[in-house]
Copies of this chain bind each other. A is one copy, B any other.
Amino acid sequence: MVPAGYDPSRFPAFAVTVDVVILTMSDGRLHVLLVRRGVAPYEGMWAIPGGFKRPTETLGEAAKRELAEETGVDSASLLTQFGAYGDPGRDPRMNVVTVAYLAVLREVGNVIAGTDAAAAALIPVDKALNGKTGLAFDHARILRDAVERVRVDLERTGIATAFVGPTFTMAELRAVYEGVWGVHLDGANFRRRVVAEDGWVIPTGRRAQPGSTGGKPAELYRAGRMWKLGGPIRHPQSSEKGKGDLR
């Protein structure tokens, strides 16, 4: 890892930052928390929240700290590291390597209100990536990678339940899959597969209030803790032969 006859001071110094892509589901669409930059470079543009890593903390701890500073949320274990970015010149001021984390939250709306509302906003990811909203640095690429990662993790992990509250209905959980993947899933089949998977969700026995449009009240579930190695829901296109392209 280190060549012989080495002298630490001879090697280039980098700043290391941790950026946290905070995703949430709102209105059936995937949203990302972005902050507006107040200083040059890229002043006035939207950016992914982040900050410098301290030598005394791990990368994961730095991500957790940044998440807490930004949203007040102090939830461990929903942070997923998904990439490191170090292209020369990605920050015009200095050599910066950033390690990017993905955080999935439920309803950050009220959290946002607590911070400086002008400087932070929840923006639909398709709008943020539309090219019209210019993102600072290489943050468009980072956001794209984050979305790709959450799409994959939805199929392989229990990350879906992080989008919803401590108790949730099948419709709410299904809306997560539909929103992230941009597909429509049959409610009956979805329900069957989720409850069939052992330890995935736990019925609470209670029922949710129906919305103002009526309808049968839905059962409320809690998330089980069988969260590793493959959930019950498969992406429809990814099992199709050939044709399918997700983007």
Question: Which residues of chain A have a CB within 8 Å of any CB of chain B?
Answer: 1-6, 8, 11-17, 19, 37-39, 47-59, 81, 83-88, 93-95, 97-99, 136-137, 139, 152, 156, 196-198, 229-230, 238, 241-242, 244-246
Given A39-B6, A49-B1, also A97-B15 (CB < 8 A): no
Contact status B17-A16, CB under 8 Å: no
Contact status A1-B55, CB under 8 Å: no
Contact status B39-A2, CB under 8 Å: yes
Closest to A137 in B: B1
Q: How many copies does the complex hold?
A: 2
> How far, in Å, is A243 (CB) from chain B's closest CB?
10
Contacts of A49 in B (CB 8 A): 1
Given A16-B86, A54-B12, also A59-B1 (CB < 8 A): no
Contact status A241-B197, CB under 8 Å: yes
Residue A14 contacts which of B14, B57, B81 (CB distance < 8 angstroms)?
B14
Centre residue among A50, A52, A54 by max chain B CB count within 10 A: A52
Ordered by A's residue number, 22 sampled pairs between the chains whose C-beta atoms are within 8 Å are A1-B17, A1-B37, A1-B49, A1-B137, A1-B139, A2-B37, A4-B38, A6-B39, A11-B15, A12-B52, A12-B54, A14-B97, A53-B86, A57-B88, A58-B87, A59-B84, A59-B86, A81-B83, A84-B99, A97-B97, A97-B99, A229-B246
